[in-house]
Each structure stands twice: as C-alpha cells, then as structure tokens.
Amino acid sequence: MSIALFLKEFAADPRATGSVAPSSSALAKEILRGLPLDSSQTVLEYGCGTGAFTSEIMDAISGSCQFLGIESNLSFIRQLRSKFPNVSIHHGSVADVRSICDQYDIGEVDCIVSGLPWAVFPHEAQVKYLKEMMRVLKPGGQFVTFGVLTGLLFPASYLFARMLPDYFSEVSRSPIVWRNIPPAYIYRCRR
C-alpha cells in the first residue's frame, strides 16, 4: 500500500513527493541513531510521507514526549491517521512551523526529523524553512535529514549542504545507506 501510494503521489507531483519510494526501514533506523529520543520532551517530524520514520520515532520516544508530524500531502495524511490513530499529524507547511507549534502549545523542540526532499526545493524555500526551524529548535537541539544520491544532480542539493553550517554549530554527513531506494546519506546537525 505505501509503495503504491508513493508511486501515485510521485507521478502526480514529483517535486513535492521527492522520491519514487518510501524510505526504507534501514534508513529510518539509521536516521534516528544517536538522537536522544528517549529523553526528549518534544519531537517534530517534517514530511511524514507514509510513516517510515514515524513508526520508528513512536517506538523510541517516551510516553511523556510530545510528538507532532507535519505533512502537506492529504493522501499521505489519510494513510498516516489510519495507521497511527493516536498520533498528532498536522496538515500544513513547515514554512509555518512556529504558528503550527503554537496551536499545539509547543514552545521549543528537542529534535526535528525531516523526510523533506531538500534537493528539489528552490534556494529561497530552503532558506525560509531553515529560518523558521530556528524559531522552534532549542539551543543544543538536533536536526536530522537525508538526501539521496540522485539528488546530487540538483544544484539545490549543494546549496542546502553549504547552508547548514550557517544555522548549526555541528554538521556531519553519514556514509551512504545503500539499503534504500535510491541510496541515501544523512545530515546530522546540532544547533
């Protein structure tokens, strides 16, 4: 179901979906490695898609942690709400993350896990999303996201990578996660 839905949404709007397939469980496990999810008070997920990261996050956070997913695709939201009926998934854009967090009484966030296709966003959108993120991510908070090898064909991928040190005190890039379609790498950032 997830793969078919992803393909359908990719065919309808490749730039918004960003990939032909949902993230693999191998990528989901690797992207969360090292995040202090068990001790976090608030965790956001950007671009939940069909829930590959959501499932792993929900397994890792404590019962007292507030989790909020932000997704712009209504087809994905319907599937997410069916799959995770007790999880807060907000329909909207991460460009509005401060006002979205205000609606859920969220002040500062410990971790942001992103499934957004940064390489296909125009530079202006990348800047806006990162600036808005800084309005909610607490000092010392962590941001993780990934890129795919095919995304390296897009100049926006390089622009995004070059901007990260402007917003974060620590930035690292993982080795390639080959068990994903397409193969991916992870950016780990600390504010």
pLDDT in tens, 57-114: 999 999 999 999 999 999 989 999 999 999 999 999 999 999 999 999 999 999 999 9
Q: Say if residues 146 and 186 touch (Cβ distance below 8 Å).
A: yes
pLDDT of 38 higher than 50: yes
Q: Please state the pTM of the whole predicted model.
A: 0.89
Q: Which tokens belong to 90?
A: 């907000």
CB within 8 Å of 58: residues ≥ 6 apart: 67, 84, 87
Question: What are the respective helix, strand and coil percentages of the chain, to the nearest 5?
Answer: 45, 25, 30
pLDDT bin (cut points 50, 70, 90) of residue 2 is low
Among the residue ranges 9-18, 30-39, 129-138, the one predicted with the least confidence is: 9-18
Could you give the number of structural domains in the chain? 1
Q: 115: which 2 tokens? A: 């499934």
Please give the average per-residue pLDDT across 32-38, as a whole number: 95
Q: What is the CATH number of the domain that holds 170?
A: 3.40.50.150
d(CA 74, CA 71): 8
Instruction: Render pLDDT for 103-150 as a digit per residue (tens, 0 to 9).
Output: 999 999 999 999 999 999 999 999 999 999 999 999 999 999 999 988
Question: φ and ψ at 120, to 5 degrees?
Answer: -100, -5
Residue with more model confidence, 3 or 33: 33
Tokens of 51: 């829930």
Bridge-based pairing of strands 170-173 and 89-91 is unpaired
Question: Tell me, what's the pLDDT at 80?
Answer: 93
Average pLDDT over residues 1-18: 49
In the Cβ-directed half-sphere of 105, how many Cα atoms lie within 13 Å?
A: 1
Which residues form the domain of 24? 2-190
Mean pLDDT to the nearest integer, 11-36? 72
78-115 as b/e: b if 16+ CB within 10 A: ebbbeebeebebbeebbbebeebbeeeebeebbbbbbb
Give me the pLDDT at residue 103, please.
97
Q: How far apart are CA 187 and CA 172, in angstroms?
A: 6
Question: What pLDDT is recorded for position 23?
Answer: 74
Q: pLDDT tens, 150-170?
A: 887 788 899 999 999 999 999
